Copies of this chain bind each other. A is one copy, B any other.
Amino acid sequence: MTQNEIVHTLSQTYSPLSAECRKELMDKMTILSLPKHTCLVLEGQYSDKTFYLIDGCARAYYLKDGKDISDWFAFENEFISSIISFFTDTPSPHYIELLEDSTLVALSKDTIDGLSNQYHDFERLIRVVVTQTMLRQRERISSILFHTASQRYAHILTRYPNITRRIPLTHIASYLGITLETLSRIRNPKS
């Protein structure tokens, strides 16, 4: 995928960008191809970058009392960042790692702020991305409060039908807020 194609997809997926803005964005963005298991962000770091996945997938996770708890997955054409660090300029509570060999764009906060100041278009695109993220968080809250473990698992499967082929069950379980063992029992409801 060329830079040009990336920017077009972005502009079409989220919110249209003027030719001028697209051009400047192309100049400012870095495209990276990195192997599986690469860590993009470590806990405790100040992370002022947002990543946009072209190909592959990634997750954000915490180490909470030594336990690895996934907080967010991103696939092709989705964004991922240590949102807390990115938006509040505090050290990241998250790690972010690639779950497959991936190609992605890294955008620094300076770049995003600069383009947002300069181009109303770009500010809108960011607003759209943040709004979608917010709605996804909301859905997760009601999922946790109102649905049982197995309903939540069923639900994530409808959203990402082949997630189990790309992401280990441990990570799916912790994302759903349940243990590995419970997820396993949900998947094999015999005995």
Binding site for B on A (CB under 8 A): 64, 69, 71, 83-84, 87-88, 116, 120, 123-124, 126-127, 130-131, 133-135, 137-138, 140-142, 144-146, 177
Contacts and interface: CB of A to CB of B under 8 A. Distances in A.
17 contacts: A83-B134, A84-B135, A87-B131, A87-B135, A116-B124, A123-B124, A126-B127, A127-B127, A127-B130, A130-B131, A130-B134, A137-B138, A137-B141, A141-B144, A144-B144, A144-B177, A145-B177
A71 B141 CA distance: 9
Contacts of A135: 83-84, 87-88
Per assembly, the copies of the chain total 2
Nearest to A118: B120
A124 B64 CA distance: 34
Nearest to A88: B135
A185 B127 CA distance: 42
Which of A87, A126, A127 is the most central at the interface, judged by chain B CB atoms within 10 Å of its CB?
A127
Contact of A127 (B64, B123, B137): B123
Contacts of A177: 144-145
